[in-house]
Structure 1
Amino acid sequence: MYVVTVDFIIKPAHLAEFLPAMMENAKTSLEVEPECTYFDVCQSESKSNHIFLYEIYNSEKAFQDHLASEHFKLFSQTVENWVESKAVNIFNRC
């Protein structure tokens, strides 16, 4: 299994817009990408503009397919200016 984590820091003025867009992206990923098996969106209790994603794909190729999908491209373009920082980490599930 191919695990992806993403830490977003969202510009506070855009948090109310970012969250629904992120939730829609996660929902669509699970619905239309058969090899995306888990997509969790978490929000920090102490810093509300810190959003953490935990995603599981069957393979690296499945993740690359996710990155190439139309819904992901649209999401990325939509939120591009709302993001203060973004850190992506890749893991192999043990």
Structure 2
Amino acid sequence: MTTSPLTIVAEFRVSTENRTRFLELCAYDSERSVSDEKGCLRFEAVSPLDDPQTVILVEVYEDEAAFETHLATPHFKVFADGVKDLEVKEISVRKAARHAPKA
């Protein structure tokens, strides 16, 4: 099934002492993704107001191929290495299709 656009919702759990550095990595990945990847339409990092140790990435790509391209970029490698180094726990990574508004 081809999904266009494709939304990625990735949830992470980060310790208090590593939160600032992790958010810096999220900002770096977000900035590079939006500026360098033609297929990345949106990339945001958010946290629930009542749970600052949870960080949720909401990313929108033109399609699955654009997301696969993202996973092969140097800036994603920096992010992925940082997740390991900071011992950030990946809770889930979900792919979603947009139903409204229509693309």
* TM surpasses 0.5: yes
8 A Cα contact 2:33 2:70, kept in partner: yes
In structure 2, the residue matched to 1:33 is: 37
8 A Cα contact 2:8 2:95, kept in partner: yes
**Max Rg structure:** 2
In structure 2, the residue matched to 1:92 is: 97
The answer to whether structure 1 residue 45 and structure 2 residue 56 are counterparts is: no
Tell me by how many angstroms 1:47 deviates: 1.1
8 A Cα contact 1:9 1:49, kept in partner: yes
More helix by share: 1
TM-score (norm 1): 0.93
In the alignment, which of 77, 80, 92 is matched to residue 81 of structure 2?
77
The answer to whether structure 1 residue 21 and structure 2 residue 25 are counterparts is: yes
Identity %: 26
8 A Cα contact 2:33 2:40, kept in partner: yes
More strand by share: 1
Alignment: residue pair count: 94
TM-score (norm 2): 0.85
CA deviations on 1:32-60 (whole Å, 9 max, x unpaired) are 00110011110121111101111110110
